[in-house]
Each structure stands twice: as C-alpha cells, then as structure tokens.
Amino acid sequence: MKYKVLKWLSYASCLIMLLVSFNGVVVTRTGSGLECGREFPLCHGKFVPGTTIGSLIEYTHRLTAGIAGIIALVTLVAFLIWARKRRDFQIYAAIMAFFVIVQAVMGALAVVFSQSAPIMALHFGFALIAFASALVLALSVRRAGNLERYQAPPETQRVSKRTRNLTIFSAVFTYVVVYTGALVSHTELAKASVALHIASALLLLLVLMVGHMAIRNYSHIPDIRKLGIIVIVLMIALPLSGVLNLVVLGSEYYMFAPMLHTLITDFLFAFLCFMSIRTWELSRLPAGESKSARVNKPAQA
C-alpha cells in the first residue's frame, strides 16, 4: 500500500512539473508575464484574476506552480516517512522540492522586481531540474517495485567509467545548452545565437555517441540499451522541433511548436540524468573475473 501511494505521488509530481513548464512557455510566448501587474500573489489586488486572456494565463501559471510546490512537499514528506531505507529516493524528492520552491520564488520576484535575462534564464533552468528530478524519482520507484528489498545487479552488468563519465558530461552539457537557449530567447543577441547553434551541434554528436555506445556495448543490460534508444530518438527530434518552431512562426500553430520543443527538451535532459545515475550505479559494481582468467586459472587440489 505504501509503495503504491509513493509511486502515484511520484507520477503526480512528474505530471505537474511538466504542466508548469508548459504554462511557462505559454506565458512567455503570449507576453503575459506582467498581465497581473507587479503584484504577487494577488492579481490587480484580487485573488481571482480579471477576465482578460493575459491575466488568466499568468494566474493559471501561478496557480500551477503553487500546486506543484504543495505536491512536491507532500511527496518529500511521504518518502521521508515511508521510504526510510531508500536514501536515493529521498534525495531525488528533496532535490525536486528544493528547485520547485526556488523557481517559484524566482518567478514571484521577477513579477515584483525586474530581473535580468540571466536570472530569467536560470528560472527556466531550475524548472528543468525540478522536472528531471521528478521523472528520475518516478522511474526509480517504478523500477524498484519494492521499497523494502534491494537486489544488487550481477557483475556482468558492470558499466565502464568511460561510459559513465561521458553520460554524465552529456547531461551537464545539455543543461548548459538549454540555459544558453533560454538566455538567447531573453536577450536575442546575435553572438549568443551563433554560440548556441555551435553548442547544439556538439550536443547532437555527443548524445548520439552516448546512445550508440549504450546500444552497442551494453545490449545485455536492458535498461541501459533502452535509455540509449530513448536519448537518440529525443536528440534527433529536438532540432527537428526547433525547425518546426521557425516554420510555424506567425501561424495558428505558433503555440504548439514551442510546447513540443519544451516537451522534448525536458524529457531529453531528464532521461540523460536518469541514465547518468544508472551508469554511475553500474560502474561501481566489482569487476568480474574475465573469461580467459577463469580458463587459465590452475585447478586447486
């Protein structure tokens, strides 16, 4: 019973974090950030916003972020009480709750006080970390199946440190590229845009390399192979969604394209984070004895 509650709490946290990201895209694309004036949490002096579309969009974003904060705190408390033996789950829940609260506070400060472009980009970056933590928590709980028992993987599932380090670097580099993209969207600097395209090309090659390595070298480890396939598909879809964003600019689909781009970005970073955790765990397994060593090993009397 406890496991089911924690599992569905982790799912709910993941879903609400995704909704916060979507609402943030709508607020940015419609320019509704200050439709409630420089007041928080009130909207033009009222708890219930006016009837204008802009104020409803901004107020919905605030409401969703508030619900996300409540769910994150409830999830953290639940895991602290019912999953005491799983410190890793507690850490994921704590990271999620921390960044949800921080990004919500930053959003409130951005309304009351004008914020610089780097701070606004960081606001998006913190929301990205919050969603990644929620997805990592949900995937980890689903994979565990039982909070009380933990069965160590066999030594044959050991992952090399090279694979582990490259995967972790790809996750960190993805965050840097996403932050740069958010910064460019707030500043529209030409030099930053050129740097973003170069970094995006490097990221494409890096993630494809990580995915190929996971599929080719670790086909005997199902979750690593599946994660390799997922990150490759998401990485290929990401630039395509960026092109779609330019194609539909000014059309009736102008809102759909950036939401799709954000969805792919969120899941790519989150799955890279989960893959980094899994490769780190498997890289710590003791190195199994090689086949040649077993063959040449002298028989004991």
Record the tokens describing residue 4, joined without a space: 């089911």
Distance between CA atoms of residues 65 and 108, nearest Å: 10
- DSSP-assigned states of every residue in 80-129: HHH-TT-HHHHHHHHHHHHHHHHHHHHHHHHHHS---HHHHHHHHHHHHH
pLDDT given for residue 44 in this prediction: 72
Q: Is the pLDDT of residue 49 over 70?
A: no
Distance between CA atoms of residues 228 and 181, nearest Å: 24
Q: In the block, which residue shows the tokens 């799912």?
A: 11
Q: Is the pLDDT of residue 52 over 60?
A: yes
- Span 8-40, pLDDT tens digits: 999 999 999 999 988 888 888 787 777 777 777
State phi, psi for 251 to the nearest 5 degrees.
Answer: -95, -175
Q: Is the pLDDT of residue 53 over 50?
A: yes
- Looking at the chain, the number of H-run helices and the number of E-run strands are 9, 0
Distance between CA atoms of residues 123 and 127, nearest Å: 6
pLDDT given for residue 191 in this prediction: 62
pLDDT given for residue 35 in this prediction: 78
pLDDT given for residue 266 in this prediction: 95
Residue 165 burial by Cβ neighbours in a 10 Å radius (0-12, 13-18, 19+): middle
Residue 155 annotated among the catalytic residues of the structure: no
Residue 207 vs residue 244, higher pLDDT: 207
pLDDT given for residue 77 in this prediction: 97
pLDDT given for residue 155 in this prediction: 66
pLDDT given for residue 50 in this prediction: 62
Residue 89 burial by Cβ neighbours in a 10 Å radius (0-12, 13-18, 19+): buried
pTM for this entry: 0.88
Distance of CA 75 to the CA centre of its chain: 17
Distance between CA atoms of residues 95 and 248, nearest Å: 36
- Span 265-274, pLDDT tens digits: 999 999 999 9
DSSP element (H, E) containing 175 = helix 161-187
pLDDT given for residue 296 in this prediction: 38
Domain boundaries along the sequence of the chain:
1-144, 157-286
- Span 76-104, pLDDT tens digits: 999 999 998 899 999 999 999 999 999 88
Share of residues in the chain with pLDDT > 70 (%)? 86
pLDDT given for residue 290 in this prediction: 36
- Span 224-264, pLDDT tens digits: 999 999 999 999 999 999 888 878 776 766 778 888 999 99
230 Cβ contact partners less than 8 Å away, ≥ 6 residues apart = 271
pLDDT given for residue 41 in this prediction: 74
Per the prediction, the chain carries an average pLDDT of 85
Distance between CA atoms of residues 133 and 140, nearest Å: 10
pLDDT given for residue 292 in this prediction: 33
Q: Is the pLDDT of residue 153 over 70?
A: no
Q: Residues 35, 39, 58, 155: which is the catalytic one?
A: 58
Distance between CA atoms of residues 250 and 60, nearest Å: 24
